[in-house]
Amino acid sequence: MDFVSNWILTAIIFMPIVGAAYVWFGSGSRVSQVRSNAMIGSMLTLLLVICAAGMHSQGQGETVDGYGLYHTSGWMADGDNRIDVNYTLGIDGVSVWLLLLTGLLCPLAIWASFSSITNRAKEYYCLLLLLESGMLGVFCSLDLLLFYVFFEFTLIPLFFLIGTWGGQERARAATKFFLFTVAGSVLTFAGVLYLAFHQYSYGDTGVFSLNIPTLVRYGQSGLIPAGVQWWIFLGLVAGFAVKVPLFPVHTWLPLAHTEAPTAGSVLLAGVLLKLGTYGFIRLALPILPEGAEAFAHFMAVMAIAGVIYGALAAWVQEDVKKLVAYSSVSHMGFCVLGMFSLKMAGMTGSVMYMVNHGLSTAALFLVVGMIYERYHTRDMNKLGGLARQMPVMAVFLIIFTLSSIGLPGLNGFIGEMLVLIGTAASTETHDGLIAGPLGMAYAVPAATGIVLGAIYMLWMCRRILFGPVLEPPGTPDTSAGLPPDLSGREIGILAPIAVLCLVIGIWPKPMIDSMQPAIEEHILASRVMEKDINVAHADKAMKGQSVASNTAPASPQADSMEVESKPTEAQRFTGSQLVGSEVRHGS
Amino acid sequence: MNESLLTNLSILILLLPAAGALCAGALGPRHLKGNSHWPVVFGVGGAAIASYILLFQVAGAGEESSVLIELYQWFTAGGGSWFNVELLIDPLTAVMLAVVTGISTLVVIYSKEYMRHHDQPERGYERFFAFLGLFVFSMCILVLGGNFLLLYLGWEAVGLCSYLLIGFYYQKPSAAAAAKKAFLVNRIGDFGFGLGILLIYITFGCLDYATVFEAARLGMDHNVEALATLMSIDAIQASELAMTISSRLPIIALLLLCGAVGKSAQLPLYVWLPDAMEGPSPVSALIHAATMVTAGIYMMVRCGVIFASSDAVMMFIAILGAATAIFAATIALVQTDMKRILAYSTISQLGYMFLGVGCFAAGSAVFHLMTHAFFKALLFLGAGSVMHAMGGIIDVRRFGGLKRILPVTYLTMLIGSAALAGFPLLAGFWSKDEIVHAAFNQHVLLGVVGLVTAVLTAFYTFRMMFLAFWGEERVPEGVSAHESGKWILVPLGILAIGAIFSGYFGVHVHGGGFLGFLEPHGALHHFLEPVTAPFAAHAHEAHAAEIGHGFFAAIAHHWLMYLSALLSILGILVAYVWYVQRPWLPQVVRATFPKAHFVLLHKYFVDEFYDTVFVSPLRRLGRFCYQADVFLIDGIVWFITVIPRMFGQSWRTLQTGALQGYGLGMAAGLALIIVLVMMTT
């Protein structure tokens, strides 16, 4: 079992690559075999992800720094062990849900491509599998370089997916998408390097470390002065904000979504956008608590601007896919808003929102793709009354619309409500965390997003589904063997998502139960109020006036193994325990 | 009380309609087809039986009539306390459940025949019943929920069902538009409602009724010690909390009120309800008259502690209710679509209920809610029966004199109309009278508005009745009118019995003068007292303040009943004179006041106003945002990319590709380096 738990994350990351290799070399020229092989590869990955999630919930395998299924192997090292850049993997209660989301959406995206992709299928499915690999890698990485490599790696397959199998303007869309994200992530890399060198120069490890837990520990020890935190924060945020995408750097998204093939849109909206928010919660917020707090207002304002702006822009679209794309801008604004409340509710809501948005928006793109395959248009002026022609599709579209507009009882509501509670109650301390920066003043404009969300989504439903039947001439096109309404395969794609939407909405407890300890330990550790120790201390440590070293500082010669094997408790990171040692660095 | 029985009953009440809906939705299209009503009939009927058992259980329990049933933990905002899925059973819930499931059962039975033409099920038959079942389930959650989140869940879910059912004939553009409008206008109200819930969470740190209401009560009383114990905080914090509570409760009340105004179609958010008549008649009867639209009143009564804490808020509610009542009644005077007349009437009657709540007469408001559910459902179903017979035509100008063609429908609708008009001894008389009574206690003007509206109500109701059923017999061309079958007539009959007798739940026998032997505040009010106590506590203060107006108090107590009986008969008589005896009179009046008629006919132009002031600008803003995306933001990005390109452009001329040029450059460079080296050494 040890062997399995040690290597399962590696297996998850490389399974799609193996699948891609098999698709490339192992399947003949027949499209049907190519796609079934691709499907097998991604299904095996899903199976592994489910196994890993199960093992993680059972607490199997090595747990280091609160990350389960931990694995590390040497990657880059010099003779003196002064470089700690390793192949380190591990998951916690947050990343496990994103892994599951990725693992689920990829086979569905591949399955959805069966009817629409006929030319160069081999390349297409290989790229999809490579993309899956990259995304899974991001959520498993505990090393910043590894994280960054996977983070950037996802661009390459998607660039080709959009650029080759996209719509009319695919070249422009692919280039724009690539340039926007690369420009952002270059700055992120600068931030990463600054952070790592700062740790190397002023930290007590004496090791050039890109190990995320080490950096989090360092960041939370308060050794990074506020001014530096700001710069690093800005650097990290540049890349993540483009990815999210946060207003006003979102303009690549509508174009990329509209031009991408359905599977590309599904994975882009479902998972890739979450890489940005995941970057926030895994790196920017825990490593730079002061930076996060200092920029919280700014980020929240941008997030709310995105919520309202995205919703209004969505409302005036004629292209369904563009409408859904702008709705993503609006929804991801909610996600960012929640995390910058720096409260348990907001953070939980934010993570829930990532998963829920991943499900509902991916499903919406899938439905739009299914309509497109039949009617060859996404223009709402040319479509109407499809509820009569495609009743089963109508049921699914309405379910996902309702999930998207946060109808209570479906998944969207839980995330939305928690984000709003977290934002509104940011200054309260019911949840045992110190007061956060936001408040009711932020919740009120954000809540208008709920009304606006209903406006544009129902607008879309009404125009596509209701009213007199309106179809472009010569459609529905059934020449590709598609029935007028959804086929069994298409129902099989949408049904699992619909069921999950309902289950998460009614019974989100398992998700919340596994998420909240991880959030408390890994993201908001510096904000936990200690019941028995004076709150003021924690507050003071937070403000960075009393800066201290960690318990039992590691010697400069300590190799990476020693760092990992230290016992860790949640309290280890809390501000209160950091009080009372000498000031090593100030500015 | 027998808690396990109640638990089982309440779960049954929730699950039966849901199971029925699921069954109809899943099996309907392929297997059940024209029999799709059966699972829903059994599901909703079973829920109704369970609701009545539950009602008797609660009624028999006496003092300890409130039970909280925790089902499971839903989600949490951190800090260890969860928002549960929990059910609260108390007299208010029991009454609401009985009304909801009872009327629903009748409506479902009625729909079995109504949703067919020539005994062939309409397209979407199974969909219709699935949505009805879903609606009953949602409404039961709304009234059973034990915290604000479940209330919100039910609140949104009934809105969804309303959306789906208004848009049932989705191919009609007007129906699709009406459905969307209903959902959106409700969402605007829910925006405030949601913020109210957030503010409750911020203030109290939890969202369950029991804790919030208890803390609110203690906070208003400034009972610091008890508050400290309840919230497990120290005295200083409790003192601060009490201050916060007393300052925030009015704001919370106003925010929650937004939700109620949207759902219960009050000014200024009533605009969706008349359009909602695009849905099938049973839907109008069930959702847009008897049950869903009363959710706002239910919520205000449920949150009595919060609302009654501020006299200003209560006064605002009363004024809002009175204004809506008379406003909608005036519009109803000139409408010609039977269902729209009834829709405006519903808005007006809901205004009465608001007025009742605002005048601290919560028990009377719930009483009126109950009686109104009977007679308004009856009227809508009757209108549906007329529509069924007239081949889908519902405009009273296009038919008339139907009383011989549709005798049973006519008779039952007559009873319903009389009850709505407040004809003495019928259901509406008792409940409306109580509200007007309470309004007089609060302020004379409110009472006068209540009385004037009563006259208008009697007038427009009987105008509709006379136009449709009296006079010369006329039916639209090509329609072979016939009375409906028993599936339609039996529910009408049962509702007519309710419209006559349901008022007697709210009165009690008393030795006194004529009509005085039946005094208001009967069994229903006593039953509801545990819930309406917060209103009663404040009502006494209000009464004490009103002693100066002894004259009106006296009138209100003894003469109001006679007066309102007379006014109701007066309204009916005027309608009789205008529409039966001298049918040319309305023409004369219309010609005399053309502008007033024009304004009323166009419903005061409120829809047009909203469209110009809110919708169009918002859409323009949306277009602007999109343009900004395309031109402004991408323009800036383009500008940034231009800089390196210009840089490249300016240097690319050097890359001519001509070998001699490169050679020259090399030589020049080499020479330069040599010169520099020589100079430095």
List the 258-317 stretch of A: residues with Cβ below 8 A of B: 309, 312-317
Low-confidence ranges of chain B (pLDDT < 50): 511-514, 544-550
Do residues B376 and B289 touch, judged by C-beta distance below 8 A?
yes
Q: Which of A342, A411, A417, A503 to mutate to test the interface with B (most CBs of B within 10 A)?
A: A417
Residue B414: inside a domain: yes
Q: Please give the full DSSP string across A303-361, using - where no structure is assigned.
A: HHHHHHHHHHHHHT-SBHHHHHHHHHHHHHHHHHHHHTTTSHHHHHHHHHHHHHHHHHH
Does residue B674 share a domain with residue B560? no
Determine the pLDDT at residue A533: 43
Does residue B652 share a domain with residue B591? no
Do residues A278 and A138 touch, judged by C-beta distance below 8 A?
yes
In whole angstroms, give the CA distance from residue A424 to residue A33. 53
Residue B245: inside a domain: no
Three-class secondary structure of residue B86 per DSSP: strand
Q: Which of B144, B143, B137 is nearest to B160 (CA)?
A: B137
Q: Which of A316, A426, A433, A470 to mutate to test the interface with B (most CBs of B within 10 A)?
A: A316
Determine the pLDDT at residue B539: 66
Greatest CA separation found in chain B?
A: 131
Element (H, E) at B80: none
DSSP-H helix ranges across B61-172: 91-114, 125-144, 148-166
Domain count, chain B: 3
Q: Which two tokens stand for residue B480?
A: 């072979």
Instruction: Return the number of CB contacts < 8 Å for A and B.
Output: 159
Burial (CB count within 10 angstroms: exposed 0-12, middle 13-18, buried 19+), residue B483: middle
- Please calculate the CA angle A96-A97-A102 and round it to the nearest 5 degrees: 100
Determine the pLDDT at residue B521: 65
Report which residue type is found at B189. Answer: G
A378: closest CA of chain B, how far (Å): 18
In whole angstroms, give the CA distance from residue B505 to residue B528. 12
Reported as a single tens digit per residue, the pLDDT across A549-561 is 344 344 444 444 4
Minimal Cβ distance to A443: which of B29, B167, B198: B198
**Could B187 and A344 be called an inter-chain contact, meaning their C-beta atoms sit closer than 8 Å?**
no
Q: Which two tokens stand for residue B437?
A: 């009574």
Residue B216: inside a domain: no
Minimal Cβ distance to B78: which of A254, A348, A509: A348
Q: Which two tokens stand for residue B290?
A: 């008897």
Does residue B629 share a domain with residue B562? no
In whole angstroms, give the CA distance from residue B519 to residue A311. 56
Greater confidence (B583 vs A191) lies with A191
Residue B205: inside a domain: no
Whether chain B has a CB inside 8 Å of the CB on A470: the answer is no
Determine the pLDDT at residue A21: 92
Q: How many residues does chain B have?
A: 681
Minimal Cβ distance to A424: which of B202, B622, B641: B202
The last residue of one of the domains, among B101, B121, B146, is B146
Q: Name, in order, each residue with C-beta under 8 angstroms of B317's C-beta and a sequence gap of 6 or more.
A: B257, B300, B307, B354, B355, B357, B358
Q: Which of B469, B499, B453, B502 is nearest to B344 (CA)?
A: B453
**Could A516 and B76 be called an inter-chain contact, meaning their C-beta atoms sit closer than 8 Å?**
yes
**Could A316 and B160 be called an inter-chain contact, meaning their C-beta atoms sit closer than 8 Å?**
no
B565: closest CA of chain A, how far (Å): 45
Q: Name, in order, each residue with C-beta under 8 angstroms of A234's C-beta and a sequence gap of 6 or more.
A: A187, A191, A291, A295
Instruction: Please report residues of A whose CB lies closer than 8 A to that of B641.
Output: 179
**Could B79 and A431 be called an inter-chain contact, meaning their C-beta atoms sit closer than 8 Å?**
yes
Does residue B651 share a domain with residue B588? no
User: Where in the sequence is the domain holding A470, given as residue range(s)?
Assistant: 291-587
Instruction: Please report residues of A whose CB lies closer than 8 A to that of B74.
Output: 507-509
Residue B487: inside a domain: yes
**Could A458 and B183 be called an inter-chain contact, meaning their C-beta atoms sit closer than 8 Å?**
yes
**Could B184 and A451 be called an inter-chain contact, meaning their C-beta atoms sit closer than 8 Å?**
yes
Residue A35 has pLDDT above 50, yes or no: yes
Minimal Cβ distance to B191: which of A251, A450, A512: A450
Determine the pLDDT at residue A147: 93
In whole angstroms, give the CA distance from residue B38 to residue B269. 36
Question: Residue A38 CB: number of other CB atoms within 10 A?
Answer: 30
Report which residue type is found at B291. Answer: T
**Could A313 and B622 be called an inter-chain contact, meaning their C-beta atoms sit closer than 8 Å?**
yes
- Which residue do the tokens 């248009």 mark? A377
Residue A319: inside a domain: yes
CA A477 to chain centroid, in Å, comes to 36
List the 111-170 stretch of B: residues with Cβ below 8 A of A: 149, 152-153, 155-157, 160, 163-164, 167, 170
Minimal Cβ distance to B170: which of A343, A447, A465: A465
Burial (CB count within 10 angstroms: exposed 0-12, middle 13-18, buried 19+), residue A546: middle
Q: Which of A236, A245, A325, A335 is nearest to A286 (CA)?
A: A236
Mean pLDDT of A193-221: 87
Does residue B504 share a domain with residue B460? yes
Determine the pLDDT at residue B317: 93
**Could B149 and A408 be called an inter-chain contact, meaning their C-beta atoms sit closer than 8 Å?**
yes
Q: 3-class secondary structure for B379-435?
A: HHHHHHHHHHHCCCCCECCCCECCCCCCHHHHHHHHHHHHHHHCCCCCHHHHHHHHH
Reported as a single tens digit per residue, the pLDDT across B542-573 is 554 444 444 555 555 567 777 888 888 898 88
Determine the pLDDT at residue A567: 41
Does residue B347 share a domain with residue B329? yes
Residue A484: inside a domain: yes
pLDDT bin (cut points 50, 70, 90) of residue A328 is: very high
Q: Which residue of A has its CA nearest to B171?
A: A467
Residue A86: inside a domain: no
Q: How many residues does chain A have?
A: 587
Residue A120: inside a domain: no
Residue A531 has pLDDT above 60, yes or no: no
Residue A180: inside a domain: no
Does residue B559 share a domain with residue B455? yes
The last residue of one of the domains, among B114, B129, B146, is B146
Reported as a single tens digit per residue, the pLDDT across A456-470 is 998 898 889 888 888
Determine the pLDDT at residue A578: 40
- DSSP code of residue A166: -
**Mean pLDDT comparison of A26-30, A170-174, B349-353, highest-scoring range:** B349-353
Residue A539 has pLDDT above 60, yes or no: no
In whole angstroms, give the CA distance from residue B623 to residue A312. 8
The last residue of one of the domains, among B146, B177, B194, is B146
pLDDT mean across residues, chain A: 84
Q: Name, in order, each residue with C-beta under 8 angstroms of A134's C-beta and a sequence gap of 6 or more.
A: A150, A151, A153, A154, A157
Instruction: Please report residues of A whose CB lies closer than 8 A to that of B175.
Output: 466
Report which residue type is found at A409. Answer: G
Report which residue type is found at B321. Answer: G
Do residues B321 and B356 touch, judged by C-beta distance below 8 A?
yes
Does residue B397 share a domain with residue B472? yes
Greater confidence (A426 vs A128) lies with A128
Bridge partners, A528 (sequence order): A433
**Could B622 and A312 be called an inter-chain contact, meaning their C-beta atoms sit closer than 8 Å?**
yes
User: Where in the sequence is the domain holding B110, given as residue range(s)?
Assistant: 1-146
List the 418-457 stretch of B: residues with Cβ below 8 A of A: none
**Could B194 and A447 be called an inter-chain contact, meaning their C-beta atoms sit closer than 8 Å?**
yes
- Please calculate the CA angle A219-A222-A228 and round it to the nearest 5 degrees: 70
Residue B661: inside a domain: yes
Does residue B649 share a domain with residue B560? no
Determine the pLDDT at residue B557: 58
Instruction: Please report residues of A whose CB lies closer than 8 A to that of B232.
Output: none
Whether chain A has a CB inside 8 Å of the CB on B78: the answer is yes
In whole angstroms, give the CA distance from residue A147 to residue B266. 55
Q: Name, in order, each residue with C-beta under 8 angstroms of B169's C-beta and a sequence gap of 6 or more.
A: B175, B278, B279, B280
Half-sphere exposure of A554 (CA within 13 A, CB side): 22
**Mean pLDDT comparison of A76-90, A563-577, B314-328, highest-scoring range:** B314-328
In whole angstroms, give the CA distance from residue B90 to residue B54. 10
Instruction: Give the orientation angle of helix A440-465 with respect to helix A411-424, to 10 degrees.
Output: 160
Instruction: Please report residues of A whose CB lies closer than 8 A to that of B80.
Output: 432
Q: Which residue of B has its CA nearest to A401?
A: B160
List the 200-229 stretch of B: residues with Cβ below 8 A of A: 201-202, 205
Domain count, chain A: 1
Determine the pLDDT at residue A543: 40
Residue A371: inside a domain: yes
Does residue B355 share a domain with residue B332? yes
- Which residue do the tokens 């306390």 mark? B81
Does residue B461 share a domain with residue B363? yes
Do residues B248 and B203 touch, judged by C-beta distance below 8 A?
yes
Residue B233: inside a domain: no
Does residue B536 share a domain with residue B519? yes
Residue B630: inside a domain: yes
Minimal Cβ distance to A458: which of B76, B184, B623: B184
Determine the pLDDT at residue A556: 43
Residue A569 has pLDDT above 80, yes or no: no
Do residues B500 and B428 touch, judged by C-beta distance below 8 A?
no
Give Cα separations from B180 to A61, A454, A467, B68, B104 (angstroms).
52, 9, 12, 36, 24
Q: Which residue of A has its CA nearest to B173?
A: A467
In whole angstroms, give the CA distance from residue A133 to residue A21. 12
Whether chain B has a CB inside 8 Å of the CB on A496: the answer is no
Residue A262 has pLDDT above 70, yes or no: yes
Residue A163: inside a domain: no
